[in-house]
Amino acid sequence: MKLYNGLMMPEIGFGTWQIDPKDASLACKMAYEAGYKMIDTAESYGNEKECISSFKSTEDIFIVTKLPAQYKTYDEAISHFNESLKKLGRIDLYLIHAPWPWDQQGKDCMEGNIEVWKAFCDLYKAGKVGAIGVSNFHPDEIEKLYKATGVMPMANQIRYFIGNRQIDTYNYCIKNNIVIMAYSPLATSELLQSDEVKKMAKKYGKTEAQICIRYCIDTNTVPLVKSTKEERIKANLDVDFKLEEKDIEYLNSLTPQASTRPFRS
């Protein structure tokens, strides 16, 4: 996938949300050895340093991290970026983790988000980060960032999976050349129990997880997959096939029970 500034991003990333710091080093090492070239972490995960601690060099790894959602000032954004940079050595993509603090979902923090975005723009212009973006942002929130700075986010990381596509946000991002990063592509494993996904897996001779991951790729998003089990880490990357257009359309029409959960949690 190519970000609109020309930076290339791997089409699959290894997610580290909810991976304990004591397990993150080995998990990321196994992921790299399996073939993953992108590590997605965040300051709030508490595992940034551990995610890259097993690597002698990170030259061929695309590193993504995020500013904690509760920080909404220019100075806080700069300070926390520098803290993450010290831990990681390099940041290829830096994201605003959410438009509001997680314990205040829905709160209007746009004034703060604009200040943070100005800091992100300055970090990018200074060459300190390869690309900048957001996470869990809606189109109207992105529009306000753009109007205030003239800079559109290069990526938006959202919950995206079969039956929960956030279609308005999806369409907006595709239209504006914003790469969509799909977290929870398996609906935190709930889709593995879907009869529809099971039928699709049987048709293609693949696992349910592989169908869900391939669906994200075939709908022009970058899935972030997570596991601490070596066998699953390898299997989740074995998606060198394509879904037929009619099957994508069918999966687009589904609304699994998992999609009734809050879409920005």
45 labelled catalytic: yes
Q: What's 178's DSSP letter?
A: P
For the chain, domain boundaries: 13-187+220-240
User: Taken in order 191, 192, 196, 202, is the CA torsion positive or negative?
Assistant: positive
What amino acid is encoded at 145 in this protein?
L
Which one is catalytic: 32, 36, 45, 71?
45
Cα 183 from chain centre: 5
CA–CA separation, 117 and 42 (whole Å): 17
pLDDT of residue 264: 44
Query: What is the helix (H) or strand (E) element at residue 232, kind and residue range?
Result: helix 230-236
Instruction: Answer for the pair 37, 63: CB distance below 8 angstroms, yes or no.
Output: no
Secondary structure class of 35 (helix, strand, coil):
coil
- Closest C-alpha to 131, from 170, 101, 90, 168: 90
pLDDT of residue 261: 53
pLDDT of residue 262: 52
Q: For the domain 13-187+220-240, what is the CATH code?
A: 3.20.20.100
pLDDT of residue 132: 98
pLDDT of residue 265: 38
pLDDT of residue 235: 96
pLDDT of residue 209: 97
- Closest C-alpha to 261, from 188, 193, 196, 211: 188
**Which residues neighbour 231 within 8 Å (Cβ) at sequence distance 6 or greater?**
none
pLDDT of residue 263: 45
CA–CA separation, 241 and 218 (whole Å): 10
Instruction: Answer for the pair 90, 134: CB distance below 8 angstroms, yes or no.
Output: no
pLDDT of residue 256: 58
pLDDT along the chain (265 residues), means of 10: 97 95 96 97 97 93 98 98 97 98 93 98 98 97 98 97 94 98 93 94 97 98 96 96 97 71 46
pLDDT of residue 255: 74
Q: The whole model's pTM is what? A: 0.95
CA–CA separation, 158 and 36 (whole Å): 20
